Amino acid sequence: MRAAVMRPSVVAIGLGLAAGLTATLGAGRWLTSLLYGVTPTDPATLAIVRSILSATGLAAATLAAARVLRTDPAPVLRAEGPARPHFPLPPQVRPLESAGLLHIHALTCRCASRSV
């Protein structure tokens, strides 16, 4: 269960690190004027920054995942109540609302009205 909760965070961290590394290597010429005593492609510096950012992201994701896994979903879902659309319901839809099919009907109506 923890892997299912952590997977989106780990993917986001990995994509962010890859994009940051690409941007750093691409902007190396402009970064040279801001750096003193180190090159923009210094492997040790890139590894240290990458590990610090990875550790921070994983720590935040782990704390959030632990909080999610401790929460019982039943009271939270019960407190939210049924999903309600932000538009008035036509008379033919009111029986669907009581049967719990309102959300599916609202999605199909919205899609059908767009194609007309």
Separation of alpha carbons 12 and 71, rounded Å: 23
pLDDT, tens digit, for every residue of 51-103?
Answer: 999 999 999 999 988 888 888 878 877 777 666 656 665 665 555 555 555 45
Q: What is the pTM of this model?
A: 0.60
Q: What's the pLDDT score for residue 50?
A: 94
| 103: its two tokens | 């959300």
Mean pLDDT of 2-27: 90
Q: Is the pLDDT of residue 112 over 70?
A: no
């994983």: which residue's tokens? 58
CB–CB of 107/83 below 8 Å? no
């590894």: which residue's tokens? 47
